[in-house]
Amino acid sequence: MEPVGDTVPLAELLDERRHLVEVARWMLGSRVAAERVTDEAYRQWYRLSERQRARIRAPRAWLTRVVGGLALARLAPPGTGRPDPPEPAPPREQPYAGLRDAADRALLRALETLSPAERAAFVLNDVFGAPAAGDRAARPDPVDRARHSLRARTARPAPPRRQHEIAHALRQACADEDTGRLAALLADDVTAFFDGGGKVRALTGPVTGRERVARSLLTLLAGHPRTTLRACPVNGGTGLVARYEETVAAVVTLDVAGSRVVQVWVVLNPDKLRSWNRP
């Protein structure tokens, strides 16, 4: 099965980030500094255009080189001539234009019905992995409001029991890596969003269509000896929780209308998964 765009198996995503953090920690001696350097390396990755990323045959090696350069720049004493930083990535193409190319017309119409704040929060956070401005602790998350508005406009939710059944069927189809069964559970115009927060090498735009969404989900959730996938309560419904070893690595929310999944929300951002990984 051909993967979609930058889709990478979950085990590979976590192994890659752990590797980068360990390289930076070994050089800097600080876990906090290592996390910051790793985040900056991923920011440089996402500043590349899709075409430029596609030309990099070994993304992990490219990211390791960037992490090494950033760590060396931090280690150089002030005034002694810092090592040359990694070559800056060229600016990305206009993001909203990319969204228009990637998203279907129904989604664009739904976005236009949101308030400006909701629209900005949704595009920045869920599509491009950038945090919305402002103090989230002081008021309800604008991204959550945007999600709720989009869901209310795109479909009438299925009864909880039906949603529960479909979530379990989708989990089993993923576990069996059964493309046909998985695609049959998805609406023709299903849309999937992947929120990596710019901190793992995840898709940066929505994926539409049952075949493409099925491929992206199966690639991401591909079977691995240390990966488990379970149906669990998520956001008031039944979703999927993927663990890599003992760490929750992805939480999948499903919007179901009738007997089909119409929208898929995959949270891969490690910051947003902290509450799932508390002892």
DSSP string, 36-78: HHHHHHHHHHHHS-HHHHHT-S-HHHHHHHHHHHHHHHHHSPT
Domain count, the chain: 3
Q: According to the model, what pLDDT value does residue 31 have?
A: 93
Give me the CATH number covering residue 184: 3.10.450.50
Q: pTM to 2 decimals?
A: 0.69
Q: Are residues 117 and 200 in the same domain?
A: no
Question: Within a 10 A sphere around the Cβ of 239, how many other Cβ atoms?
Answer: 24
Q: Are residues 188 and 269 in the same domain?
A: yes
Q: Are residues 168 and 258 in the same domain?
A: yes
Question: Which residues contact residue 158 at a Cβ distance below 8 angstroms, ignoring those fewer than 6 apart?
Answer: 166, 256, 257, 258, 259
Q: Are residues 52 and 177 in the same domain?
A: no
Q: Are residues 163 and 132 in the same domain?
A: no
Does 87 reside within a domain? no
Q: According to the model, what pLDDT value does residue 95 have?
A: 41
Q: According to the model, what pLDDT value does residue 211 have?
A: 93
Q: According to the model, what pLDDT value does residue 235 have?
A: 84
Does 88 reside within a domain? no
Q: Are residues 126 and 60 in the same domain?
A: no
Q: Are residues 142 and 249 in the same domain?
A: no
pLDDT tens, position by position, 25-61: 999 999 999 999 999 999 999 999 888 988 999 999 9
Q: Are residues 200 and 248 in the same domain?
A: yes
pLDDT tens, position by position, 166-198: 999 999 999 898 989 999 999 999 999 999 988
Question: Which residues contact residue 255 at a Cβ distance below 8 angstroms, ignoring those fewer than 6 apart?
Answer: 151, 154, 155, 157, 261, 262, 263, 264, 265
Does 129 reside within a domain? yes
pLDDT of 88 strictly over 90: no
Supply the range of the domain harboring residue 238. 95-107+156-277
Mean pLDDT confidence for 109-138: 50
User: Do residues 95 and 120 make contact, with C-beta atoms less than 8 angstroms apart?
Assistant: no
* Comparison of pLDDT for 278 and 148, the residue scoring more: 278
Q: According to the model, what pLDDT value does residue 97 have?
A: 41
Mean pLDDT confidence for 150-170: 76
